[in-house]
Amino acid sequence: MPDRVLPGIGLLIRLGAGAVWIFAGVAKITDLPHFHDQVEKYKLLPHALDAPFAYTLPFVEVLVGIYLAVGLLTRLAAAAGCILMLLFLIALTQAWARGLSLDCGCFGTLVQEKVGFWAIVRDTALAIPSLVMLIWPARTLSLDRRLFGSPDPFRRGAAAPA
């Protein structure tokens, strides 16, 4: 395989992971009161925490997405992404198990999908790029490489990542 293919694949996965988070965050930011309503409907958090959570999470998602896209603190951003995705999967699964008929709210008002098996499958699939970045943080065209000289695990001959 040519030497550029694997790093290219790594870069694409990293950009994909970043795009997912940026899209998810921006979609929610465009209608924060609606997202607040969605969070309330899950009935997971104490009522007093619904609003602070709903008004913070989308910005955190955008931040995670930007860090992944530019490849800055890639592994840390991917870890944050994986934790968020795990929380979403727990929320979706418990809502599905409780038989709640909710709009997922995963992408604000831009994508509407009921909580259920397929929403869980989709979120699991969307978690994969972040998970890959957690294990092998791709550093081609990344700030990690430029600022810290971090090796790219997708590049043949790279030292094992720290």
Stretch that binds another protein, among 11-19, 84-92, 97-105, 127-135 (CB under 8 A): 97-105
CA distance 28 to 35: 6
Nearer to another protein, 52 or 86 (CB): 52
**Does 159 contact another protein by CB under 8 A?**
yes
CA distance 5 to 53: 40
**Does 100 contact another protein by CB under 8 A?**
yes
**Does 41 contact another protein by CB under 8 A?**
yes
Q: Figure out which of the listed residues 73, 119, 133, 134 binds another protein, where binding follows CB under 8 A.
A: 73
**Does 120 contact another protein by CB under 8 A?**
no
Nearest C-alpha neighbor of 98 from the set 14, 33, 41 = 41
**Does 69 contact another protein by CB under 8 A?**
no
Q: How far is the CB of 133 from another protein (least distance, A)?
A: 17
CA distance 64 to 69: 9
Q: How far is the CB of 73 from another protein (least distance, A)?
A: 7
What separation in angstroms does the CA of 32 have from each of 23, 27, 58, 108, 158? 14, 9, 9, 8, 43
